[in-house]
Structure 1
Amino acid sequence: MLSEKDIFNIKTNDEFESIALRVFKFQFENNAVYRSFCDLLFKHPSDINSIEEIPFLPIQFFKSHEVLSSTQPPQKIFTSSGTTGNVTSKHFVTDLHIYESSFKNGFEYFYGNIDDYAILGLLPSYLERDGSSLIYMVDYLIQKSNHPKSGFYLNNLGELAEAIQSLEALNQKTILVGVSFALLDFVESQSIKLKNTIVMETGGMKGRRKEMIRTELHTILKEGFGIEHIHSEYGMTELLSQAYSKGNGVFESPPWMKVLIRDTEDALTLQKTNKSGGINIIDLANLNSCSFIATQDLGKVHDNGGFEVIGRFDNSDIRGCNLMVL
């Protein structure tokens, strides 16, 4: 039986492949939606010998079905943001502890101990609705930081600027996590230069501003905050893990998450490194839903395993934590 410990103690590619194949067999046997999808492709665990052969469930299934590999009742249902009239994705999470372990271990894998930081959340569009997995994560990080200045800021940008300035004066390591339009609002209304604060954008204009490419957004934010790099978080409702970029536009995944690229003309064929295509994600933290997801994002994987997000498929929604369309 697979355990949380197996997933979050992965150290090598061989360990990842071995556990991913075990997760595939488990989900094939316990997830009716995924089993039906695999059956339509005539794919059975006895036919699968590598992660490249595993079928990836189109992410749209999270809009139309309950994607579950567990008989336990959901502890939480995370929902995607969406414009009026659009069907939103629903991720039925039967074990919140796995989600907490995933984002906590993922954060510390890239940034070190949470309690070394003050965590500031500038996520008004997410705070204004229920069911955001991003809010759940950032709220947890705020609580675990144990810093009195950590917290959410809705539209009180002056108060946020004062908090940042006081933390800067104390040389306190700080992370400002913000949705793109709110970070732009901040740099337009406040004059502040940072030395000890990481600015991390989560993407998304949420209909508040025109979409722009990431390089343009980052150029404005770097100038506004007086810093050399803007960090980014890549996650989505349908995942329980996140990838991070520290400012070069290339994301890195934690050891239990992997990105593969599929051919845009043939969804069952994978691309080689450095070739663009559709992003497929293996998220082993999705043990109780589906770990093998074909997203609507476009990107490419580099030789070292890092990946870029370069846009979205035509006619797909711009939503949530996805990065801006090119």
Structure 2
Amino acid sequence: MTDKIFSIQNPQEFETIALAVFKHQFKHNKAYRSFCTLINVYASDVTKVEEIPFLPIQFFKSRPVLSSTEKIQETFTSSGTTGSVTSKHLVTDINVYKKSYLRGFAHFYGNIEAYVVLALLPNYLERKGSSLVFMVDDLIRKTKNIESGFFLDNLQELSKKLEELDKKGQKVLLIGVSFALLDLVEMQKFNLKNTIIMETGGMKGRRKELVREELHGILQNGFGVSEIHSEYGMTELLSQGYSKGNGIFKTPPWMQICTRDTEDALTINPAGKNGGINVIDLANYNSCSFIATQDLGKVHKNGTFEIIGRFDNSDIRGCNLMVL
């Protein structure tokens, strides 16, 4: 099935495969089936994608979300404050994740071997189980370039390397968490011509949260670039959306976004209306492909989307009957 998932060419193929994945997960995923039956939805009732229920993402904190009996190869965990309950994504086939992010990157950016990848992800490197670090580490290896690598807190070395590579005309991808990228441009101002700056979000308590326009404005000015790229991913997903500027994200062909009504979690919004972000990630074949996240956003008629914030814990309504 995963070969079919990564070969999707059009909306009709997406619909057919998404329905097949739903039926598979309803049958084999105990947590998902329990949730579906609790809201009175059964596999035989669902004949189109719009009828598929979305599992609240908090389930990944409270129980195993698995559609496979294969051995767990990797467990990805979310970051969290000390003592907080973290999400666990149990991955039974790590090659599906690798295929997803490598094909996803190629879909939007071309051959990874054309780039030097410089990673500024200090807070993620300080803990195990990060799906982001796993992905970026593999992307670094796939560049086959000795200049690629992680930078923990060595901003001086990173800034020197950035300038040298950019002046040589080398295509560079600098990927980092927001607070670390801000630290870098506060230390030094750049005028980069051949470098993509990609933020993965997250101040992680290290700085005051900024709205996207303000953050991107500071980074554009600091790096001397016209656009700031962004990556949209999370522990519970095996695919990523990418933005090449203005906070407008696109997804690879095996991933789709819609929004749900903030007052009625079972109602899907029309395009253009703000709501809770629901994700269909067919790469999650062995866990759950239909997830209601805690992000707020808007989906445009052409399928692109933007993130406008997060639900407050006090604002999460509906579909949480089994989470606690």
TM-score by length of 1: 0.95
Q: Which residue of 1 aligns with 2:246?
A: 248
Alignment of 1:81-100 (within 5 A): 81-100=79-98
Distance (whole Å) between structure 1 residues aligned to residue 59 and residue 65 of structure 2: 7
Superposition deviation, residue 191 in structure 1: 2.7
**1:286-309: CA deviation from partner (whole Å, max 9, x where unpaired):** 000000000000001001000010
Task: Tell me, yes or no, if the aligned pair for 1:194 and 1:226 is still in contact at 8 Å.
Answer: yes
Alignment of 1:242-281 (within 5 A): 242-281=240-279
Match of 2:39 among 38, 41, 44: 41
SS in 1 for 2:127: coil
Superposition deviation, residue 127 in structure 1: 0.3
Q: Which residue of 2 aligns with 1:133?
A: 131
Alignment of 1:272-291 (within 5 A): 272-291=270-289
Over 3 Å counting, the alpha-carbon distance change for 1:259 and 1:41 in structure 2 is: same
Superposition deviation, residue 227 in structure 1: 0.7
Superposition deviation, residue 316 in structure 1: 7.2
Give the partner amino acid of 1:182: A
Q: Which residue of 2 aligns with 1:80?
A: 78
Superposition deviation, residue 73 in structure 1: 1.4
Distance (whole Å) between structure 1 residues aligned to residue 115 and residue 130 of structure 2: 23
Give the partner amino acid of 1:91: H
SS in 1 for 2:202: coil
SS in 1 for 2:174: strand
Q: Which residue of 2 aligns with 1:109?
A: 107
Alignment of 1:226-237 (within 5 A): 226-237=224-235
Query: Is 1:217 matched with 2:215?
Result: yes
**1:53-96: CA deviation from partner (whole Å, max 9, x where unpaired):** 00100000000001000001110000000011211000000000
Match of 2:50 among 49, 52, 55: 52
Task: Tell me, yes or no, if the aligned pair for 1:275 and 1:300 is still in contact at 8 Å.
Answer: yes
Over 3 Å counting, the alpha-carbon distance change for 1:207 and 1:316 in structure 2 is: farther
In angstroms, what is the RMSD of aligned CA positions? 1.0
Q: Tell me the percent identity.
A: 65
Alignment of 1:141-180 (within 5 A): 141-180=139-178
Distance (whole Å) between structure 2 residues aligned to residue 191 and residue 48 of structure 1: 54
Match of 1:198 among 175, 196, 204: 196
Q: Which residue of 1 aligns with 2:320?
A: none
**1:265-303: CA deviation from partner (whole Å, max 9, x where unpaired):** 110000000000000000000000000000000001001
Give the partner amino acid of 2:161: A
SS in 1 for 2:276: strand
Distance (whole Å) between structure 1 residues aligned to residue 184 and residue 164 of structure 2: 17
Distance (whole Å) between structure 1 residues aligned to residue 217 and residue 246 of structure 2: 12
Q: Which residue of 2 aligns with 1:32?
A: 30
Distance (whole Å) between structure 2 residues aligned to residue 25 and residue 300 of structure 1: 28
Q: Which residue of 2 aligns with 1:322?
A: none
Superposition deviation, residue 46 in structure 1: 1.1
Query: Is 1:239 matched with 2:234?
Result: no
Give the partner amino acid of 2:304: G
SS in 2 for 1:101: helix
Distance (whole Å) between structure 1 residues aligned to residue 144 and residue 212 of structure 2: 32
SS in 2 for 1:66: coil
Query: Is 1:7 matched with 2:35?
Result: no
Superposition deviation, residue 169 in structure 1: 2.1
Task: Tell me, yes or no, if the aligned pair for 1:296 and 1:316 is still in contact at 8 Å.
Answer: no
Task: Tell me, yes or no, if the aligned pair for 1:34 and 1:290 is still in contact at 8 Å.
Answer: yes
Task: Tell me, yes or no, if the aligned pair for 1:176 and 1:199 is still in contact at 8 Å.
Answer: yes
Match of 2:17 among 16, 19, 28: 19
**1:165-218: CA deviation from partner (whole Å, max 9, x where unpaired):** 121122000100000000000000123210000000000001110111111000
Task: Tell me, yes or no, if the aligned pair for 1:240 and 1:283 is still in contact at 8 Å.
Answer: yes
**1:200-246: CA deviation from partner (whole Å, max 9, x where unpaired):** 00000011101111110000000000111000000000000000000
**1:251-274: CA deviation from partner (whole Å, max 9, x where unpaired):** 000000000110001100000000
Is there any run of 5+ residues in structure 1 with no aligned partner, and where? 318-326
SS in 2 for 1:92: strand
Task: Tell me, yes or no, if the aligned pair for 1:20 and 1:51 is still in contact at 8 Å.
Answer: yes
Distance (whole Å) between structure 2 residues aligned to residue 311 and residue 165 of structure 1: 34
Superposition deviation, residue 315 in structure 1: 2.3
Over 3 Å counting, the alpha-carbon distance change for 1:286 and 1:182 in structure 2 is: same
Give the partner amino acid of 1:218: H
